[in-house]
Amino acid sequence: MKQLVSKLNFEIVGSLALASALTLGMSACGGGGGDDAPAGGGTTVTAAQKTAVLTTYADIALANYTDALNDAVALQSAITAFASSKSEADFNATKEAWLTARESYGTTEAFRLSEGPVDAESGWVNTLYGAPEGQMNAWPLDENMIDYTTEANGSISSGNIIDTVGVFTPAGGSDVNVTNITKEALAALNENGGDANVATGYHAIEFLLWGQDQDYASFIDDTITNGALVAGMRPLTDFTSASNADRRLDYLSAAVELLIEDLNTTKNAWETSETNCTTGVGCYRAALLSELDGADADKNIDADTALTQIYAGLGVFIKSELANERMAVAVLTPSEEDEHSCFSDNTHRDIVTNYEGFKNIIKGEYKGLPIDANAMSVYSLVDSATKTAIDTLFTSIDTKVAAIDTAAATEHFDYQIKAGSSYRQNIVDAKNEMRDLGDTMVDVAADFGISLSEDDVTDPDETAI
């Protein structure tokens, strides 16, 4: 097991030697407990209350994934309009539609790592829903696989999906015919031969819209897109008069079509109107609430099992995925290659929305309001000591995350992480407190009569720093 980043404030060293020594980890996610057992803090959470908390969780998931789907459909409409007009105005409108779509998707990410329909790696949930998260949001990606890139010395790369007509073979992977760029071809290429071989999802679309953002100034001289407020600057001509312009438009259309399909699959899992374990519509929600009967009754998930998975997943997400992989690694390198939305310089909003998604689940809220007038939240049932610990961390992290967001008006995240930035320590402090927040999931679980350890809320494969 790798040595884990704990609650220390590490001294960030921005050396290239240290950056090259890092390897990126992926996220994975444990526990048990009695149904009406006295909670660790002396409270007793009843079976009915546990079901109510799970219902609130499911309601937030449905509302959030519905918004993410609708925003992706709006992105598709923008891409269609741009493909027709090829105008600067519609190009910019498509970028704005992508940024809007990222807002609603960002808050869904707290539903990851909890054995749910978006990313369950085994069992009937995986069989029925297919774990589409990897097609929707995989990162970081090797942009050289998708389209040309310009190196700092001015050389242009080739041998990518866009400029290949016929069979394309990704590095370390198997052949896929890309004569026509379709959603099926892109799905076959995604992570074909390696995790960095990303061909689909938000970040593939992001790269096609913005192009590279090469702020290499910490390491080598760069004259391409260097600047504290400069994101990728793909020219409109890439979609009008440049070679393979039509293939780039085909790629955008195919990628957003696949994204919509994956979001629809995930949203359908949380539906209330049907309980269909053949098509998947409503099946996961019903299983989470132990409402399935007949031949599907064996899919029902015991409330303590469900809550164990959720609390462990929340801990891993906020602690290992957001705090460590998306923030600490980026600060330590420091390189925009390790920031989440590096082409659009939208990483500050990823941090904001990912954190908001975590808070939504704990507080039973969505868009700043209770998801339902009668909603029962996790927060409402924990004991006073746990609530105080969570409140203290929320208050402090709120301020720091807001500062990351506000600072982006002066320095995008890829400049905030650089040595000498006055905003850098704020990111380090925020990630340390998020890691502490992840550990509070152990106490939350105890208040529900469920046993978790800090190992259960920490990804054992997170990047060693």
Q: pLDDT tens across 279-330, in order? A: 999 999 999 999 999 999 999 999 999 999 999 999 999 999 999 999 999 9
Q: Which CATH superfamily is domain 16-451 in?
A: M75 peptidase, HXXE motif (1.20.1420.20)
Q: Which two structure tokens, joined as six digits, stand for 35?
A: 């149904």
Tokens for 220, please give them.
């080598």
| pLDDT given for residue 39 in this prediction | 41
Instruction: Name the DSSP class of 276.
Output: B
> pLDDT (tens digit, 9 = 90+) per residue, 66-115?
999 999 999 999 999 999 999 999 999 999 999 999 999 999 999 999 99
Domain boundaries, the chain: 16-451
First to last CA, the chain: 13
Above pLDDT 70, what percent of the chain? Answer: 87
The set of long-range contacts for 54-57, using a CB threshold of 8 Å and a minimum separation of 24, is: 54/288, 54/289, 54/303, 54/306, 54/307, 55/289, 55/375, 55/376, 56/364, 56/371, 56/372, 56/375, 56/376, 56/377, 57/288, 57/310, 57/361
Measure the CA–CA gap between 142 and 146, rounded to whole angstroms.
Answer: 8
Q: In this structure, what token pair is assigned to residue 425? A: 């320590």
For residue 20, what is the DSSP state?
H
Residue 138 DSSP symbol: -
pLDDT tens figures, 332-380: 888 777 788 999 999 999 999 999 999 999 999 999 999 999 999 999 9
Cis peptide before 140 (omega within 30 of 0): yes
How confident is the model over 215-255, as pLDDT tens digits? 544 444 545 455 666 788 899 999 999 999 999 999 999 99
pTM for the whole thing?
A: 0.90
